[in-house]
Amino acid sequence: MIAVVLLGAGNVGQHLFEAIKKSSDTEVVQWYNRDIAKLQPFKNETDICDSIESLKEADIYIIAVSDDAIKNLALQLPFNDRLVVHTSGMTSIHDLDKSLHRGVFYPLQSFTKGKPIDFKKVPICLEALNKQHYVILQQLANALGSKSYKINTEQRKTLHLSAVFVNNFGNQLFRIAHELSDAKNINFEILKPLIVETADKINELSPYMAQTGPAVRGDKKTLKQHLKELDNSPHKLVYELMTQSIKRTHGKR
């Protein structure tokens, strides 16, 4: 049984708690958060606290707070030589205090409050400074049913940047499409099968090979009509930038 202390009650912390709770090989022995009120709904499921000085002993301490708060929280921990990991995509493993056994347990997924996540479909990127601690993190990932990957800090930063493109920027493009369709009283549901097919296609093809549309085909007339349609829209620049990016990628002028 892997004993875990969670530090932080944001989206990542709450999803990790639910995943660990479901595993027969892991247990959250304590959950810390600076604002105890956020943990009150879970008081009958695990020990909760708002005092950093009263942390219990555990196999792994998982810091699941905002990137800016990681270093300061790690400095406050009232012990040395225990395995402490953070869950950030952009924070270096060396931002954790060197008196600790340092590691990273980064679940690469978009976590939204109230939206359940199946950790069997969540890749977890692991980093540790020695093999023994890496094995423990690997065991935790396995216990959650997740596939794990050995990823160093520099690779993880690039992975996080890539994730912003496919997730945050991709979702913003969905939002723009939603706005455009709403403006003409078009039900956004009509576009959802296309969104699903676009994402599913890259299970079989590379993104390069999967690309379609007027920019790839060189349909100048269609591109011009689209820009005319967007003439007074703040989204015109996005369309132009994306079109030029696709053209450059596929050798179109």
Reply yes or no on whether the pLDDT at 63 is more than 90: yes
Last residue of a domain, one of 151, 173, 205: 151
Per-residue pLDDT, averaged over 177-184, amounts to: 95
Give 95-140 as a DSSP string: GS-TTSEEEEEEE-S---TT----GGG--EEEEESSHHHHHHHHHH
| Mean pLDDT across the chain | 94
**What is the model's pTM?**
0.89
Q: Under 8 Å CB-to-CB from 216, ≥6 apart: which residues?
A: 246, 250, 252
Query: Model confidence at 232, in pLDDT bands (50, 70, 90)?
Result: confident
Query: Model confidence at 112, in pLDDT bands (50, 70, 90)?
Result: confident
Instruction: Starting at the earlier edge strand, list the strands of the sheet with 101-107.
Output: 48-49, 26-32, 2-7, 60-63, 83-86, 101-107, 124-128, 148-150
Q: Is the CB of residue 65 less than 8 Å from the CB of residue 10?
A: yes
Per-residue pLDDT, averaged over 43-71, amounts to: 95
Query: Model confidence at 253, in pLDDT bands (50, 70, 90)?
Result: low
Per-residue pLDDT, averaged over 190-216, amounts to: 94
Half-sphere exposure of 190 (CA within 13 A, CB side): 9
Is the domain of 11 the same as that of 108?
A: yes
Per-residue pLDDT, averaged over 103-123, amounts to: 92
Q: In this predicted structure, what is the pLDDT of residue 251?
A: 83
Angstrom distance (rounded) from CA 87 to CA 136 = 15
Q: In this predicted structure, what is the pLDDT of residue 252?
A: 66
Angstrom distance (rounded) from CA 150 to CA 130 = 12
Is the domain of 212 the same as that of 104?
A: no
Q: In this predicted structure, what is the pLDDT of residue 136?
A: 96
CATH number where 95 lies: 3.40.50.720
Structural domain including 215 reads: 156-249
Q: Which of the pair, 115 or 206, is modelled with greater confidence?
A: 206
The least confident of 49-58, 110-119, 210-219, 228-237 is 110-119
Reply yes or no on whether the pLDDT at 186 is more than 70: yes
Q: Which of the pair, 231 or 105, is modelled with greater confidence?
A: 105
Total domains present in the chain: 2
Is the domain of 10 the same as that of 134?
A: yes
pLDDT digits (tens, 9 = 90+) for 69-110: 999 999 999 999 999 999 999 999 999 999 999 999 999 998
Q: In this predicted structure, what is the pLDDT of residue 173?
A: 96
Last residue of a domain, one of 99, 122, 151: 151
Length of the chain: 253
Is the domain of 132 the same as that of 165?
A: no
Last residue of a domain, one of 123, 151, 179: 151
Q: Under 8 Å CB-to-CB from 147, ≥6 apart: which residues?
A: 123, 124, 141
Is the domain of 17 the same as that of 122?
A: yes
Q: In this predicted structure, what is the pLDDT of residue 180?
A: 95
Phi first, then psi, for residue 184 (nearest 5°) are -110, 20
Is the domain of 61 the same as that of 176?
A: no
Reply yes or no on whether the pLDDT at 7 is more than 80: yes
Give 166-183 as a DSSP string: IIIIHHHHHHHHHHHHHH
Q: In this predicted structure, what is the pLDDT of residue 115?
A: 87
Angstrom distance (rounded) from CA 195 to CA 176 = 13
